[in-house]
């Protein structure tokens, strides 16, 4: 069934709904939809079969072959044809307004999205306070074969356009979940320890006794990363099997959290590649 084409001439209810889910976290959660623009994010969303609710575009300038092909093959519920001035108002692109904007249905917030396997690698990011850091860590998770990312506590919104932009669309490739606290993860961790006896929970902290290369990451692992300012909470520290730190030689005592997470993920991948030679 072809999408319904709706011509929007002014800031009507259809336009306002898209505009509000772009800027308002509560409305995103209410409608279970979020705003996506950019070639890479839209391509990732389509490649990983996320449900597209609608595409928005204008015919006041020629569409590229990329945009035409997406619209021709679209399975979205609706297409909104807007005046250029309304596309410019919605778009965050500074130099040139996006050709396409997508409204996408949120992913299911269920741990079943993370497949349990012998070499499981999960990252838990507690209370991230920066959209840029969260998006950058998602990129590293996608690049370094992480099976899932879990965000806990009071945190920036996973589905904020700034997070999606910082992730370069890799949000669509990495199962990423949100939970109020560590309490929702305890039963799951217990299940993992029962199914995977070697499963370990490793906390990242600058005060750890072990350097990152001294921890055996060939085992199935949950890597815990704390808040940018406060680090790992006591609640998470209590459930860790071990801790690791990255060696530092300058006067600065900590890395940027996304940088630190990426370094540890690279070390995990390095160990696993050597193990499988």
Question: Of 180, 179, 225, which Cα lies nearest the Cα of 202?
Answer: 225
Question: Would the pLDDT of 144 be above 90?
Answer: yes
CB 222 within 8 A of CB 200: yes
The pLDDT mean for the chain works out to 94
Q: How far apart are CA 131 and CA 161, in angstroms?
A: 9
Q: How far apart are CA 35 and CA 27, in angstroms?
A: 11
pLDDT of residue 231: 86
Q: What is the mean pLDDT of residues 7-18?
A: 94
Q: CB-based contacts of 214: which residues, under 8 Å, 6+ apart?
A: 244
Task: Work out whether the CA dihedral 239, 241, 245, 246 comes out positive or negative.
Answer: negative
**CB count, 10 Å around CB of 259?**
15
Strands 101-105 and 33-37: antiparallel
Q: What is the mean pLDDT of residues 220-247?
A: 92
Q: How far apart are CA 37 and CA 52, in angstroms?
A: 12
**pTM of full prediction above 0.75:** yes
Q: CB-based contacts of 65: which residues, under 8 Å, 6+ apart?
A: none
pLDDT of residue 251: 76
CB 189 within 8 A of CB 239: yes
Domains and CATH numbers, the chain: 4-105 (3.30.1330.30), 111-275 (3.40.1280.10)
Query: pLDDT-based confidence at 208, cuts 50/70/90?
Result: confident
Q: CB-based contacts of 200: which residues, under 8 Å, 6+ apart?
A: 219, 220, 221, 222, 241, 242
């Amino acid at each position: 069934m072809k999408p319904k084409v709706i011509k929007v001439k002014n800031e009507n209810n259809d336009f306002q709904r898209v505009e509000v889910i772009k800027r308002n976290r509560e409305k995103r959660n209410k409608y279970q939809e979020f705003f996506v623009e950019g070639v890479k994010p839209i391509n990732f969303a389509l490649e990983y079969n996320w449900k597209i609710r609608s595409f928005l575009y204008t015919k006041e300038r020629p569409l590229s072959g990329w945009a035409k092909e997406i619209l021709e093959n679209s399975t979205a519920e609706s297409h909104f044809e807007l005046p250029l001035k309304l596309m410019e108002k919605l778009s965050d692109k500074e130099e040139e307004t996006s050709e396409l904007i997508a409204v996408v249905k949120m992913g299911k917030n269920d741990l079943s999205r993370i497949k349990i396997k012998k070499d499981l690698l999960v990252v838990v990011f507690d209370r991230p306070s920066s959209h840029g850091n969260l998006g950058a860590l998602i990129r590293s998770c996608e690049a370094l074969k992480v099976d899932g990312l879990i965000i806990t506590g009071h945190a920036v919104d996973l589905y904020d356009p700034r997070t999606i932009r910082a992730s370069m669309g890799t949000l669509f490739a990495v199962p990423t979940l949100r939970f109020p606290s560590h309490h929702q993860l305890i039963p799951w961790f217990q299940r993992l320890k029962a199914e995977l006896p070697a499963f370990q929970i490793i906390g990242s902290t600058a005060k750890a006794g072990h350097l990152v290369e001294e921890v055996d990451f060939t085992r199935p692992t949950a890597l815990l990363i704390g808040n940018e300012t406060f680090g790992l909470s006591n609640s998470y520290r209590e459930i860790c099997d071990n801790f690791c730190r990255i060696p530092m030689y300058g006067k600065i005592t900590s890395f940027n959290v996304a940088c630190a997470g990426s370094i540890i993920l690279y070390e995990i991948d390095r160990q696993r590649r050597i193990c499988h030679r």
